[in-house]
C-alpha cells in the first residue's frame, strides 16, 4: 500500500511564475501529514495537482501507487478529496449528491445507502438530507463535501482546510475519524490554518515556502520548536516584511 508520492513537481498558473518549484514529498500510509505555509504558498495548488484537477508542468504525482496524469480515473478511486470550496451539485439534496458520488466511484447502491445514511447522521445532516444543498450554510456544505470524499472508503485522503465552517461537534467527529483512519493505515494529507488543529492531529509537518518543502518535521521536532504556531512564525519571518525576532541570535 502506498500513499502520495510527489517527485520534482513544478507548476505555474498560466504565464505566472512557478508556484511549485521541483517539489518532492512523500505522505506515507498510516500518517497524517500536515502542509503548512503562508497564504499563497501553494497548498491549494498542490492539493489540486494531487487530485488531478491540474497537471504538473514537470514532475510526477502518484496516489496509492498510481500515476495521476497517466491514469487519473484509477488514481481518483483511491483518493478522497475535500477541496478548499465544496464542489457539489447545488440543485440536488445532500442525499442525492452522495448518490451521484457513489455512482461516480462505482460504489454499489446497496453499500452506498447505509454508508450515506451513517455519514449524514454522524455529521448532523440527517434531518436536512432531502433539501437542496444550495440552501445550505457554508458549514453544512462543507459537511456534505466531507461525506462525499469518504463515501468510497479511499485509502488516501487529501483535505484542503476541511475544518472550515464545521461546528464543534462535526470538528471533533472529523478529528477522531482522521486519527482512526490513519491508525487503520490510510494516508492523510491536510492543510489548515489553525495551529491547535495541527498540534492535535498531525504526525509530520511539511513546511511549504517559495514553491518547495523547506522543512519536514515529526511531532517530537515540532514540539521541541514550541508547536506548530512557532514553526509557522519562523516561516513568516523568512518572508521578510513580517520578520520575527530571532531569539537565538
Ligand X SMILES: Nc1ncnc2c1ncn2[C@@H]1O[C@H](COP(=O)(O)OP(=O)(O)OP(=O)(O)O)[C@@H](O)[C@H]1O
List of residues contacting ligand X (CB under 6 A): 13-14, 16, 19, 37, 39-45
Helix (H) or strand (E) holding 160: strand 156-160
How long is the chain? Answer: 249
CA-closest candidate to residue 3, choices 32, 24, 19, 27 = 27
Nearest distance from C-beta of residue 225 to ligand X, angstroms: 21
Question: Is the Cβ–Cβ distance between 236 and 207 less than 8 Å?
Answer: no
Nearest distance from C-beta of residue 135 to ligand X, angstroms: 26
Whose Cβ is closer to ligand X: residue 14's or residue 240's? 14
**Chain center to CA of 102:** 20
Whose Cβ is closer to ligand X: residue 95's or residue 205's? 205
Whose Cβ is closer to ligand X: residue 39's or residue 248's? 39
Nearest distance from C-beta of residue 210 to ligand X, angstroms: 11
Instruction: Give the alpha-carbon dihedral of 129, 131, 132, 136, to 10 degrees.
Output: -80
Nearest distance from C-beta of residue 23 to ligand X, angstroms: 12
Nearest distance from C-beta of residue 239 to ligand X, angstroms: 13
Nearest distance from C-beta of residue 150 to ligand X, angstroms: 22
Whose Cβ is closer to ligand X: residue 13's or residue 91's? 13
Nearest distance from C-beta of residue 41 to ligand X, angstroms: 4
CA-closest candidate to residue 167, choices 175, 157, 159 = 175
Query: Which three-class secondary structure state does DSSP give residue 65?
Result: coil
In degrees, rounded to 5, the angle at the alpha carbon of residue 218 between the alpha carbons of residues 215 and 219 is: 130
DSSP string across 78-117: TEEEE-SS----TTSBHHHHHHHHHHHHT--HHHHHHHHH
Whose Cβ is closer to ligand X: residue 23's or residue 32's? 23
CA-closest candidate to residue 53, choices 23, 88, 81, 20 = 81
Question: Is the Cβ–Cβ distance between 59 and 136 less than 8 Å?
Answer: no
Whose Cβ is closer to ligand X: residue 112's or residue 235's? 235
Whose Cβ is closer to ligand X: residue 13's or residue 153's? 13
Amino acid at each position: 500500500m502506498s500513499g502520495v508520492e510527489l517527485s520534482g513537481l513544478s507548476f505555474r498558473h498560466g504565464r505566472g511564475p512557478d508556484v511549485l518549484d521541483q517539489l518532492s514529498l512523500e505522505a506515507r500510509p498510516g500518517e497524517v501529514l500536515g502542509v503548512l505555509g503562508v497564504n499563497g504558498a501553494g497548498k491549494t495548488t498542490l492539493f489540486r495537482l494531487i487530485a488531478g484537477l491540474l497537471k504538473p508542468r514537470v514532475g510526477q504525482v502518484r496516489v496509492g501507487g498510481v500515476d495521476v496524469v497517466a491514469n487519473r480515473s484509477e488514481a481518483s478511486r483511491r483518493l478522497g478529496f475535500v477541496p478548499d470550496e465544496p464542489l457539489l451539485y447545488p440543485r440536488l439534496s445532500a442525499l442525492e449528491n452522495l448518490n451521484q458520488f457513489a455512482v461516480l466511484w462505482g460504489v454499489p447502491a446497496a453499500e452506498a445507502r447505509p454508508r450515506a445514511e451513517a455519514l449524514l447522521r454522524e455529521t448532523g445532516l440527517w434531518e436536512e438530507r432531502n433539501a437542496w444543498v444550495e440552501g445550505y450554510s457554508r458549514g453544512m456544505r462543507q459537511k456534505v463535501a466531507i461525506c462525499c470524499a469518504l463515501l468510497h472508503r479511499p485509502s488516501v485522503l487529501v483535505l484542503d482546510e476541511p475544518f472550515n465552517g464545521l461546528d464543534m461537534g462535526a470538528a471533533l467527529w472529523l478529528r477522531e475519524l482522521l486519527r482512526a483512519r490513519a491508525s487503520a493505515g490510510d494516508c492523510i494529507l491536510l492543510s489548515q490554518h489553525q495551529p491547535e488543529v495541527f498540534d492535535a492531529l498531525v504526525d509530520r509537518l511539511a513546511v511549504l515556502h517559495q514553491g518547495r518543502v523547506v522543512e519536514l518535521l515529526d511531532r517530537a521536532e515540532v514540539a521541541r520548536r514550541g508547536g506548530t504556531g512557532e514553526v509557522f512564525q519562523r516561516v513568516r519571518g523568512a518572508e521578510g516584511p513580517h520578520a520575527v525576532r530571532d531569539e537565538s541570535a
